[in-house]
Amino acid sequence: MIILGIDTSCDDTSAGVVAGGRQVLSNVVHSQVKLHHPHGGVVPELASREHLKNIMPVVRTALQKAGVRMSDLDGIAVTVGPGLVGSLLVGLYYAKGLSYVHDIPLAAINHLEGHILSILLEEEVPSFPFVALTVSGGHTSLYHVKGYGSYTQMGQTIDDAAGEAFDKVAKIFGLGYPGGVVIEELARDGRSDIIKFPRAYLSKDSLDFSFSGLKTSVSLYTKKWRKTEMENGGVVLADIAASFQESVVDVLIHKVMKAREEKGVEEVVVAGGVACNKRLRLKLSEAASSKDVGVYYPRPEYCTDNGAMIAVAGYHRLLKGERADLSMDVRSKYPVSEGGLKLRDAK
């Protein structure tokens, strides 16, 4: 089966074509970073307008690069949530139009399921069951993945997502948007153990995340540091960045390893934009190696939002005989629950 995947959940307009649920024929992403950079974050109205401008050329380019026509497609998969409502509507209604005009089956996809299954685009893949950490600007969650469409949420953020914390701290530093890359680059020249920022592990048995307090702590420290810069004992901005990053990474690793232990699985998947962070990959690989646990990461282009991962999720939905109704709508909040996204949810 050849599936076209479309994702407009936030600020990237993306479309990908995947064959057999594994082979990427094309993956096209139009980034809006330059548009939102002056604002220090994504402006929903601007994002929606940009999606309207780019959805047609992005899909057209994806089909051309894949060397397929609409008549070659066996299905269309589109993200219906979670995400920005205005952005989601652009992708959904365009996908509905294509499905109706060309009489192609349509699959409604949860964006988080796309991230979980993005690892299937790699040559080496984990065996079910495994624990998945989805960590990005909008989401930080842990799942017990028992099979295609079978996910049990074990933990989630109760305030800021990890990627959101990176963005907000970058704004505090005056480094602009997006924050993940600039903080990581700055942190390379810093000392990660010089400032003891808090680690919000919450209660002993909790697998939930909280990064709002850490962000506040960094903000207060930075304000004090700027006022006493000549008397701070040699602390530089890179040290603050490295210490902040270390706090986030330590919490993510602690929670994912605890979840793995609770479920007794030997393999872990980390997906989403923050999964590109090299410090996270290094420290998690070290922690996993000591426990003889396998860790899998999608390559960077499949960590960030992309149409290929939505096509993979759509392939497995359509393979099960699921079809989305053309009356379905989008959802700004959409948890991945036991059994995944059901057809009745899309109506």
- Do 289 and 310 lie in a common domain? no
Q: What is the pTM of this model?
A: 0.92
- Do 202 and 77 lie in a common domain? no
- Do 153 and 246 lie in a common domain? yes
pLDDT at res. 345:
40
- Do 28 and 102 lie in a common domain? yes
Mean model confidence pLDDT for the chain: 93
pLDDT at res. 337:
65
- Do 69 and 215 lie in a common domain? no
Band (343; pLDDT cuts 50, 70, 90): very low
| pLDDT per position as a tens digit, 25-75 | 999 999 998 999 888 889 999 999 999 999 999 999 999 999 999 999 999
pLDDT at res. 291:
92
In the predicted structure, residue 128 carries a pLDDT above the cut 90: yes
In the predicted structure, residue 341 carries a pLDDT above the cut 80: no
* Mean pLDDT of the region 166-184: 93
Q: How many C-beta neighbours within 10 Å does residue 193 have?
A: 10
Q: Token pair of 245, please?
A: 């990053």
- Do 222 and 314 lie in a common domain? no
Q: What is the CATH number of the domain that holds 258?
A: 3.30.420.40
In the predicted structure, residue 148 carries a pLDDT above the cut 70: yes
In the predicted structure, residue 340 carries a pLDDT above the cut 70: no
In the predicted structure, residue 316 carries a pLDDT above the cut 80: yes
Name 194's bridge partners: none
The set of residues, in sequence order, having a beta carbon less than 8 Å from that of 164 and lying 6+ positions away, is: 137, 138, 211
Which residues form the domain of 205? Answer: 126-297
pLDDT at res. 203:
86
Mark which of 264, 282, 297 sits at the end of a domain: 297
CA distance 135 to 277: 10
pLDDT at res. 313:
97
In the predicted structure, residue 253 carries a pLDDT above the cut 60: yes
For the chain, how many structural domains are there in total?
2
- Do 260 and 282 lie in a common domain? yes
- Do 315 and 248 lie in a common domain? no
In the predicted structure, residue 346 carries a pLDDT above the cut 80: no
| pLDDT per position as a tens digit, 195-217 | 999 999 998 899 999 999 999 99
pLDDT at res. 336:
80
In the predicted structure, residue 333 carries a pLDDT above the cut 90: no
CA angle 132, 135, 136 (to 5 degrees): 145
Name 4's bridge partners: 17, 76
Q: 114-151 in b/e burial notation, b at 16+ Cβ within 10 A?
A: bbbbbbbbeeeebeebbbbbbbbbbbbbbbbbeebbeb
Mark which of 275, 297, 319 sits at the end of a domain: 297
- Do 153 and 291 lie in a common domain? yes
- Do 314 and 339 lie in a common domain? yes
In the predicted structure, residue 338 carries a pLDDT above the cut 80: no
In the predicted structure, residue 231 carries a pLDDT above the cut 70: no
In the predicted structure, residue 143 carries a pLDDT above the cut 70: yes
pLDDT at res. 342:
44
CA distance 181 to 74: 37
- Do 149 and 270 lie in a common domain? yes
Band (232; pLDDT cuts 50, 70, 90): low
pLDDT at res. 233:
66
CA angle 329, 5, 301 (to 5 degrees): 120
- Do 223 and 280 lie in a common domain? yes
